[in-house]
Amino acid sequence: MSYVGYAILAMLIIVFTIGIATPWAVCMMQNWKVKHTVIDGRRLYFDGTGSQLFGNWIKWFLLTIITLGIYSFWLHIKMEQWITKHTHHDV
């Protein structure tokens, strides 16, 4: 399936689960991106899962609500850190 197909599927997952399955959709999209990326002749792989991200996602969501949206400025940074932590070079 192409990137557009995965993006549509991820959007449908998020919409039909009212956002609860967002971590799984994020991991699905990230896995597709990483599978199609080669750096210095070495393929990348992504070992993150939706269930690993779910706990952080809930924590970040609650912090955003508690701080009346102020934490949302850090949300993107935290997400990128988590994605980077789970992205590796193939050996």
Q: What is the pLDDT of residues 11-58, one digit of tens each?
A: 999 999 999 999 999 999 999 999 999 999 999 999 999 999 999 999
**Structure confidence at residue 90 (pLDDT):** 80
pTM: 0.87
Where along the chain do its domains lie?
Answer: 3-89
N-term to C-term CA, the chain: 26
- DSSP class per residue in 24-81: HHHHHHHHHHHHT-EETTEEEEE---HHHHHHHHHHHHHHHHHTTTTTHHHHHHHHHH
